[in-house]
Amino acid sequence: MAKKRLLSGIRPTSELHIGHYLGVLRNWAKLQNEHECFYCIVDWHTLTTKYKDTNDLQKNMIEVAKDLLASGIDPNKATLYVQSGIPEIAELHLLLSMVTYQNWVERDPTLKDMVRLLAEDEEKAKQEITYGLLGYPVLMSADILSVFGELVPVGKDQVAHIELTRDIARRFNHIYKSDLFPEPRPLLTETPSVMGTDGRKMSKSLNNDIKLLDSNEITQKKVLQMITDPNKIKKTDPGEPNNCQVAYKHYEIFADKKTLTTVQDECRGAKIGCVDCKKRLAKIMNAYLAPIREKREGLNNEKEIYEILYTGNKKARQIVQQTLLKVREVMKLKNW
């Protein structure tokens, strides 16, 4: 299979958790061996909802970069860069916005979810929508099309955005009689949906997440809070792993087959209590995460992280600048 251009983006919001790792980062690290990958830290996207408080933006950008690097993203294989370092993406966003119908962005289903982030009350949230937030998916289209991305690994919730990107690319090509832009495709990967310690979807805002950078002790503490089979109260009560709502689900993600058989046997046979069983789970998870955490701790030189990002930005920017030369040309704008 010929190598394809692949692009994905991640918002620099806060420290990432194991759900991000299993769902996104691990996959990005794998894909860098299969395609020509561009991984963008999309700080402008963060501004679409968090423009009022930008104090942590730089810090979060560095933290996310560390998480990406610790998860195996190799800047020698993939181009790792920061959106705001490439001003031509903003120019492309502007030019694409000219061919994008207002109702295309208004019908975007994920916009509704983002609006929910703005305020508890839906009416109030609607009043909070800015021009920038409405343009969120167009900005994402600009990210993708700026490097002629063909494949976009994303979760299901982002597929509508890729559809919009295809619509914009098609309309642009049609209007300017060109075949400049490819129509990108989403690359849906099977990812385990990771439960938080309380059984809801793992999320920082629900405070039920286990972070990549949590210590072994904190991880154990959080694992001990996980819900188990409600019928198993004492060690001598037999339990059923399939009814063990959170802890066993994590075993299934992190443990090998042999361990799973042991857990089933000990649980059903009332040979172990839930506390000990979860301590073992914590050990398994900590062992799984150890190489990532070790690597992350080694990335303590901020200057080095900036160097990596500068290098990535330079590489990405050259490519995006080439794209804009062509875009201006087909739009009959002057290349000043």
Which residues here bind ligand SF4, judged by CB under 6 A? 228-229, 232, 239, 241, 244, 247-248, 263, 267, 272, 274, 277-278
Task: List the structure tokens of 123.
Answer: 């009416």
DSSP codes, 93-108: HHHHHHHS-HHHHHT-
Helix (H/G/I), strand (E/B), else coil: 207: coil
Among 31, 69, 147, 154, binds ligand TRP (CB under 6 A): 154
Contact with ligand TRP (CB under 6 A) among 29, 78, 144, 226: 144
Residue pair 70/293 in contact (Cβ under 8 Å)? The answer is: yes
Among 16, 31, 42, 64, binds ligand TRP (CB under 6 A): 42
Closest listed residue to residue 272, CA positions, set 242, 217, 228: 228
Q: Answer for the pair 155, 86: CB distance below 8 angstroms, yes or no.
A: no
Find the binder of ligand TRP among 43, 108, 143, 214 (CB under 6 A). Answer: 143
Other Cβ atoms less than 10 A from the Cβ of 190: the count is: 6
Using the minimum distance from each CB to ligand TRP, give the nearer residue, 45 or 250: 45
**What does 96 bind: ligand TRP, ligand SF4, none (CB cut-off 5 to 8 Å by kind)?**
none
118 binds ligand TRP (CB under 6 A): no
Among residues 107 and 268, whose Cβ is nearest to ligand TRP?
107
Q: Return the closest-CA partner of residue 241 out of 225, 220, 262.
A: 262
Binding-site partner at residue 232 among ligand TRP, ligand SF4, none, CB < 5 to 8 Å by type: ligand SF4
C-alpha to C-alpha distance for 118 and 79, rounded to whole angstroms: 32
Tell me if 115 contacts ligand TRP by CB under 6 A.
no
Residue 241's binding partner out of ligand TRP, ligand SF4, none, with CB under 5 to 8 Å set by partner kind: ligand SF4
**Which element (helix H / strand E) includes 10?**
strand 5-10
Kindly list the residues in this chain that would bind ligand TRP in the complex (CB under 6 A). 7-9, 11, 42, 45, 140, 143-144, 152, 154, 158
